[in-house]
Amino acid sequence: MELVNIEKLLEKYLDAETTIAEENKLKAYFSGDHVAPHLEEYRSLFGYFTASKNERFTKTIQLKSQNWNWKWLSVAASVVLLVSVYTGYQNNQQEKSEKIYNETQMAFNILSANLNKGTAAISELQEFETTTNKILKQLK
């Protein structure tokens, strides 16, 4: 009767459906001397769990100091900051020079338009003077 019960518990254990109390019954059965021959392979499994439960790590763990990482990290951050400020300054200077160039170009365009108006007015005056001179020559 007990063997049938152990086989059912073992089946439940392999399906991950047992409770803690049922697992303790299985551990007690497999740690005993009277294990059925066809269940002998499970004895090492439960024996391992019992033995590994008592294992302890006794060596000391030395942690390495990572202060140098912070130093290198701060140096890298400083370099990145300097490079970004320098490129930002260069971009700002280029934008200023482009703005000044565009303003100068616009001023030259306005000056050119005004000079063209003046040239047109002077050519009209020259034509007027030429016509006036022709009329005055005829009157003399």
**35 contacts: CB under 8 Å, gap ≥ 6:** 29, 43
Task: Confirm if 15 and 38 have CB atoms less than 8 A apart.
Answer: no
For residue 108, the model assigns a pLDDT of 94
What are the residue ranges spanned by the domains of the chain? 2-53, 68-140
Indicate the Cα dihedral angle 50, 53, 6, 12, nearest 10°: -150
Buried b or exposed e, range 35-45, using 16+ CB within 10 angstroms: beeeeeebeee
Q: What pLDDT, on a 0 to 100 scale, did the predictor assign at position 102? A: 95
Residue 16, Ramachandran bin (φ over 0: left; ψ between -120 and 50: alpha; else beta): left
- What is d(CA 10, CA 33) in angstroms, rounded to the nearest whole number? 17
pLDDT band at 97 (very low <50, low <70, confident <90, very high): very high
pLDDT at 105: 95
What is the spatial distance between Cα 32 and Cα 53, in angstroms, rounded to a whole number? 18
Mean pLDDT score, 34-44: 81
Q: Does the pLDDT at position 139 exceed 90?
A: no
